[in-house]
Amino acid sequence: MPLRPNTFPAIAALILIFGPVFVFSQDPVVFQDAAGRTITLEKPPQRILAIGHGPQIIAHLLFMFPESRSRLIGWERRGSKASEFIPLIDADFDKRAFPGPNTGVEEVAALHPDLVLMRGIAPDPKGDALEKVGIPVVYLGLENPEQYRKDIGLIGLILGNPSRAEEITRFYQDRLDRIEGALAGLADDKKPTVFLAMTMSRGAKIAVRVPATPWIQTVMVRLAGGRPVWAEAAADTSGWTVVNMEQIARWDPDRIVLVVWHTMDPRQTLAEIGADPLWRELRAVRGGKMRAFPSDIYGWDTPDPRWILGLTWLAKTFHPERFAGTDMNAEIVSFFRKLYGMSPEDIEAKILPSIRTDYR
């Protein structure tokens, strides 16, 4: 008998999310989170709060599930706004709680959550403090495709809707399989060398930083059929590493992809860098192979659920001949329709105009 959405099955409980295998026994439900901790939920959580680093990413994941509308009471506000995207799909956005940055244990407790979600693969001191006062904490990894698959399954378990988790996972896997299939047989010497970097303004200059090897930006370059030139240098880091022009010139990559800081205009940034005499010495710049990573309201380069759009765009950019039939407009519409239930009209009016870069 199939498990019914919105309920914790009477026979289900022991679920180990270390791959596609699920093992069931009697309630309560027991599983392992991204930090490798065994978690026991005595009953389905009804008041879920997201805090810590990137809480809006957790919210964007949960809003793929219909149960989030009634169970996600809010998330920590890290910027001037809690989210610019969720109000487009959530009629009750203004009724949710958005505690300020670095929310303390007392503030969290005052909201009476029965579960707190945090990003991380190791326990956080604040999470430890919350558990000491009786508030359970679950960690989500959300940093690469494999971890996303596990986290989607975990959220499906927490919300009692494993069938929706399977639908979401299938959406991502179908696109991953399509990209892998299109790149099958591609020799390494046919894969372009790629320099992907985040650009930030430092006074009159623009600083560039490269991501750590395990991070989703590096993973996406590889999955898209590129060779990240910075990977060896960034192998021992856990964040973004500043690189200078001398190092970039030594790499002299085939392609350059810039992640433009959200307060900067990507078109202007590309124009300024492209006019710089030092950058113009690079063959990617001279050959018109420098692009800005697309974003809509949120970036496609981050571990936000939009990473699948970013990966598809990268693959099409690196190997246009192998992805001639890939229509990015159709990919965008499919993403927001199937994962968030948006209408094509709303996507056309609210999502596409927010894209500030050339994504086709």
Q: What is the pLDDT along the chain (360 residues), one digit of tens a residue?
A: 333 333 333 333 333 333 433 333 347 888 999 999 999 999 899 999 999 999 999 999 999 999 999 999 999 998 888 999 999 999 999 999 999 999 999 999 999 999 999 999 999 999 999 999 999 999 999 999 999 999 999 999 999 999 999 999 999 999 999 999 999 999 999 999 999 999 987 666 778 999 999 999 999 999 999 999 999 766 566 688 989 999 999 999 999 999 988 778 899 999 999 999 999 999 999 999 999 999 999 999 999 999 999 999 999 999 999 999 999 999 999 999 999 999 999 999 999 999 988 888
Pairing of β 193-202 and β 227-228: parallel
Identify whether 360 is part of a domain.
Answer: no
pTM, 2 dp? 0.90
Instruction: Tell whether 192 and 137 lie within a shared domain.
Output: no
Identify whether 157 is part of a domain.
Answer: no
Identify whether 166 is part of a domain.
Answer: no
**Up-side HSE of residue 10: CA atoms within 13 Å toward CB?**
1
| Number of folded domains that form the chain | 2
The rounded distance, in Å, linking the Cα atoms of 195 and 254 is: 8
Cis peptide before 192 (omega within 30 of 0): no
The rounded distance, in Å, linking the Cα atoms of 14 and 52 is: 27
Domain extent for 102? 30-145
Q: What Å distances lie between residue 182 and 78, 147, 175, 257, CA to CA? A: 39, 23, 11, 21
Instruction: Tell whether 200 and 328 lie within a shared domain.
Output: yes
Instruction: Tell whether 232 and 113 lie within a shared domain.
Output: no
Instruction: Tell whether 127 and 202 lie within a shared domain.
Output: no
Identify whether 125 is part of a domain.
Answer: yes
**Up-side HSE of residue 153: CA atoms within 13 Å toward CB?**
20
Instruction: Tell whether 237 and 140 lie within a shared domain.
Output: no
Instruction: Tell whether 339 and 215 lie within a shared domain.
Output: yes
CATH number at residue 92: 3.40.50.1980
Neighbours of 34 (CB within 10 A): 21
Plot region of 96 (φ>0 → left; ψ -120 to 50 → alpha; else → beta): beta
Identify whether 22 is part of a domain.
Answer: no
Identify whether 179 is part of a domain.
Answer: no
